[in-house]
Homo-oligomer: A and B are copies of this chain.
Amino acid sequence: MPVSSLTASDLAQVTRVAELIRSHQSFLIVGHVRPDGDCIGSQLALGLGLRALGKQVRVYTPGPLMRHLTFLPHAHMVETALDMSFEPEVTAYVDCGGRDRAGQDFEPRGRIINIDHHLSNDHFGDAAYVNTRATAAGEMVYDVLQHLGVELTADIASALYLAIMADSGSFKFSNTVTRTFEIVTELVRAGASPSWIASEFYDTQRPGTLWLKGQILSHLHYECEGRLCWAEITQEMYERAGGESCEPEGLVSELRSIEGVEVSVLIHELAEGGARAGIRSRGTWDVNMIATELGGGGHRNASGCFIRGNYPEVRDRILDVARRHLAQPPAAQQVTAG
- Residues on A facing B (Cβ under 8 Å): 2, 67, 165, 170-178, 180-182, 184-185, 188-189, 194-195, 198-199, 202-207, 210-211, 213-220, 222, 226, 254, 256-259, 282
Contacts and interface: CB of A to CB of B under 8 A. Distances in A.
Q: What is the copy number of this chain in the assembly? A: 2
Nearest to A219: B214
Given A181-B185, A214-B216, A214-B218, A206 B171 contact: no
B173 A195 contact: yes
Contacts of A218: 211, 214-215, 218
B195 A258 contact: no
A207 B176 contact: no
20 contacts: A173-B195, A175-B195, A177-B188, A177-B194, A180-B188, A181-B181, A181-B184, A181-B188, A182-B185, A185-B185, A199-B257, A202-B257, A203-B256, A205-B257, A206-B259, A207-B226, A210-B217, A211-B218, A214-B220, A217-B217
Nearest to A182: B185
A220 B211 contact: yes
B207 A259 contact: yes
Given A205-B259, A213-B217, A172 B188 contact: no
Contact of A258 (B67, B170, B175, B207): B207
A195 B135 CA distance: 12
A82 to B, nearest CB: 29
Nearest to A170: B170
Contacts of A171: 165, 170-171, 194, 198
Contacts of A170: 170-172
Contact of A194 (B172, B182, B194, B220): B172
Contacts of A254: 205
